[in-house]
Amino acid sequence: MSYLTRFATRAPRTRGDGVDEKLRLNLPGFHGAAYVRVFVEDTTSRKWRRRPPEPRIRLKIADCSNEISLWFELDSEAARENSLHKIDTLLGALRRFRDALDAEAELYALRAEAKRLSVRAPGGHLREVAGSTPVRPTRRPVAQ
């Protein structure tokens, strides 16, 4: 009977790093249908059939009326490298977009405050309101 014990026990499995999330992109009260969906299947427990199991991978970004889906492949070394390059490029672009958006939001707020503190003189030119300090918008550098 002892010769059967090696078939009755299994090596402990390590769990993969799959992810399955659907996150709202907007704060409550703002166009609530926008979301991002990320899904990478954990194939730790899937059985092989001639070749490694191919995980289901999804990346969807949607607003109120549009949705994009990006495709990622892992079936070759070149495909894996391309998939990682694709997501790294997207993350870099999103970081630069966020920095530029933050700088523009600050500039917009400064201009709105300057307008609030000013009144229009004849001819359409802004003039300072008595007792207020003029505000000059400054742009913050955008990180590359």
pLDDT at 31: 74
Same domain (yes/no): 108, 67: no
Mean pLDDT by 10 residues, the chain (144 residues): 46 67 92 90 90 92 93 95 98 98 95 81 57 51 55
Taking alpha carbons only, the member of 65, 68, 64, 55 closest to residue 20 is: 55
Question: For 3-38, what is each residue's pLDDT tens digit?
Answer: 444 444 444 445 678 999 999 999 998 877 899 999
**Tokens, residue 126:** 């802004």
Enumerate the β-bridge partners of residue 61.
Answer: 36, 68
Same domain (yes/no): 55, 103: no
pLDDT at 9: 44
Same domain (yes/no): 81, 129: yes
Same domain (yes/no): 80, 31: no
The DSSP symbol for 135 reads -
Same domain (yes/no): 86, 67: no
pTM (2 d.p.):
0.66
Tell me the residue range of the domain where 22 lies: 16-43+51-71
Residues 1-16: b if buried by 16+ CB within 10 A, e if exposed: eeeeeeeeeeeeeeee
* Number of domains, the chain: 2
Dihedral pair phi/psi, residue 74, rounded to 5°: -130, 10
pLDDT at 12: 41
Same domain (yes/no): 96, 119: yes
